[in-house]
Chains A and B, each alone.
Chain A
């Protein structure tokens, strides 16, 4: 078990290293020059070649790319993710300011997904073929299909513009004004949780159905356990193991979804910062954010794999 964990950790480090290589060289080899974007945003025209070269030197962009990479990687290992090209401030400062915002929305959406999706899927499996199963299944199939950006816009139209119940967009910290903050996050959190709720419902339904046909469920019935006892103590325990994979995937989907939702609802989270930085070619931001996301996803996947072995004794690590 210990050797397995160590091996997995080493593998994760290797993958993370490949991620840094891909992101760093991918961004910098593509067309587009951050210095030109920087200059157009500061002083419109009249940039001499000397001044341009000076700016490049200032940001260290004149050095060979491999040297830049090693320098950057050395900083990352020590916790320094570099300085923004446009704003000249350490990128970590702004990222740290924005992470709580994305986390606030994402964690809320994630919890809602679990709290609604698993019971809904279980109800479907238990009441298979009944009306409630059909209704929930159809809703879940629509839920994994609906384009979230469109859903967000339609909800803004209905609840904000037509009915005037909720604010159109924006974000307030819950510690500043809790009521206002909650009203503002209702729609974005709803949009973010739709995919998770729908896919969890589908997955729970199918894996619970599979389990309900097993012999040990028949045994449990035969020894006279109540149906709810069978479902909770016997069926769910095994039926929910495949859900773990989805729980890890759900986190990745929430991260990806936050990029879209933050654009639609104008929320100053990490996703909007990422898109803005990609468009402005502010490499250090893109590299830092992508690295943080990739590291999080790898960590979650590792935890999911370990949890598998803990929950299902049939899985042995070689």
Chain B
């Protein structure tokens, strides 16, 4: 109860920005699991950027005389059926996953922002055309949409990016559209219009910035989702295919040697889970810290 009074005080007395920032820090860094997630994400980013320096071996070098070795000091997680070092492939896999994750989220959120803002701002037939198409896309479960598009396009990095971006587009468009619909009712939009601002200026300067907090939360949450979906595609052989290291396809390759070498499937899947978990936790933390409805409760 004490926190409620504290917060209402800051809202009334202090300048709102300072209060918001302080509350953000307190809520976001206050939960150990969110801190844990942040550290994990930073580690993955470091692994992805400095993969050649961190990985003990070249992830592409095959050596059939050393295939299917058990974990040893030389190969900490053993080697796969072609004698490639499993640990090195997992480290390079972070590159693949993060690259796809960030690219897809960038494409989908930019396109979603554009479509959602147009639909919400203009309403009428623009709204109807855009949102009905999004509804049609939403009639497919997200993973299924990605599977169908990727399956039809065929494997490879470019096709995976297209498939995942299409699959993620509806969520962003919906969110943006809803945000714009509520933001555009504000008096400052009316004021800006009265002072003669053009549509695009109102959209860019006044509407979009006010839609950012929920968008940032969604982006973080979706990063985990994109990485997970990419691994499903790769697992099924219609995503990233070997020799490019990807966690999903590594799990699938290891399946053939499950009885004798379970670690080949186990390790990449565990790393994948850790990455998705980290993004979900940070997303949760951001939501708690940025959602104005939780103000006072947290």
Partner-B contacts on A (CB < 8 A): 11, 14-16, 18-19, 22, 26-27, 30-32, 138, 141-142, 144-147, 149-150, 153-154, 156-157, 161, 213, 252-253, 255-257, 259-260, 263, 274-275, 278-279, 286, 290, 293-294, 297-298
Contact = CB atoms under 8 A, between A and B. Distances in A.
Given A142-B277, A149-B231, A149-B232, 17 more contacts: A11-B135, A15-B132, A147-B248, A149-B251, A150-B265, A150-B272, A153-B265, A154-B265, A157-B259, A157-B262, A259-B143, A259-B144, A263-B236, A274-B148, A278-B147, A293-B144, A294-B140
B151 A154 contact: no
A290 B266 CA distance: 33
Contacts, number: 122
A153 B269 contact: yes
A157 B259 CA distance: 7
B147 A275 contact: yes
A275 B265 contact: no
A14 B132 contact: yes
Contacts of A146: 273
A22 B136 contact: yes
A213 B293 CA distance: 14
Contacts of A19: 136, 139-140
Contact of B235 (A26, A144, A149): A149
Contacts of B231: 147, 149
9 contacts: A19-B140, A22-B137, A138-B33, A141-B277, A145-B280, A150-B273, A153-B269, A255-B141, A260-B236
Contacts of B270: 150
Given A156-B258, A278-B148, A293-B140, A30 B132 contact: no
A101 to B, nearest CB: 17
B272 A147 contact: yes
Nearest to A137: B33
Interface string B140-157: 111110011101111000
A15 B139 contact: yes
Contacts of B280: 141, 144-145
A150 B269 contact: yes
B281 interface: yes
A255 to B, nearest CB: 6
Main secondary structure of the interface of A (DSSP, over half): helix
B224 interface: yes
A165 to B, nearest CB: 15
A153 B257 CA distance: 11
B133 interface: yes
Q: Specify which of A145, A154, A297 lies most central, judged by the most chain B CB atoms within 10 Å of its CB.
A: A145
A127 B232 CA distance: 36
B228 interface: yes
